[in-house]
Amino acid sequence: MKFRTLTLFVSLAAMMVAGCGKKETATAAAPAAPASAPAADGVRVIKVTANDQMKFNLSTIELKVGEEVKITLTNIGTMPKQAMGHNLVVLKPGTDETAFATAAGPATATEHIPESMKDQVVAHTKMLGPKESDSITLKFDEAGNYPFMCSFPAHFQLGMKGNIVVK
């Protein structure tokens, strides 16, 4: 596999969501983080928002190879999660995004991360209800175009997508 060297750490910013007693468990199938995880300081934080109009605030994120970044997604909407949940799913370059979104739609049991295409996922946030946030920490060791999307039913088709361009 071409992307074997990709390292990623998924950090659960659970403490940010006080009031959210029920823990969602659909986290990325990430390799265990090394024992000495780097300190949070110095890591660039990219803030992404998603709203009730099914829009991310940005569609392109540019990174450097080897740069560690923390992407924090916040659902700034007010509609209930069941009607207007949002997540941010980062996919490997070359993934058939339409096929992923199509498979994600009915995958309610896994918060719209389709089991059949899980191996195409670099990392993903939790599915977020209104005013919730979640973060993923990424470090890409290979340049490329890594698509991202919200995999809530129909949101990709309605434009909730973008690209992480790694140079």
Residue 156 touching Cu ion (CB under 5 A): no
For Cu ion (CB under 5 A), the number of binding residues is: 5
Contact 134, 32 (CB under 8 A): no
Q: How far is the CB of 93 from Cu ion (least distance, A)?
A: 22
Q: Is 130 or 144 the residue whose CB approaches Cu ion more closely? A: 130
- Number of alpha carbons in the 13 Å side-chain half-sphere of residue 64: 5
Interacting span for Cu ion (CB under 5 A) from 65-73, 88-96, 107-115, 144-152: 144-152
Task: Tell me the residue number closest to Cu ion, measured at CB.
Answer: 150
Question: Which part of the chain contacts Cu ion (CB under 5 A), choosing from 5-13, 41-49, 84-92, 119-127?
Answer: 84-92
Phi then psi for residue 108, to 5 deg, are: -70, -35
155 binds Cu ion, rule: CB under 5 A: yes
- The whole-angstrom separation of Cα 64 and Cα 1 is 21
As measured in angstroms, the least distance from the Cβ of 51 to Cu ion is 9
139 bridge partner residues: 7, 68
Binding of Cu ion by 161 (CB under 5 A):
no
State the DSSP string of 20-88.
--SPP-----PPPPPSSPPPSTT-EEEEEEE-TTS-BS-SEEEE-TT-EEEEEEEE---S-HHHH-B--
Q: How far is the CB of 54 from Cu ion (least distance, A)?
A: 6
What gap in Å lies between CA 33 and CA 83, rounded to an integer?
34
Q: Would you count residue 63 as binding Cu ion (CB under 5 A)?
A: no
124 counts as binding Cu ion under rule CB under 5 A: no
Assess 86 for contact with Cu ion (CB under 5 A).
yes
Q: Which residues of the shown chain bind Cu ion in the complex (CB under 5 A)?
A: 86, 150, 152, 155, 160
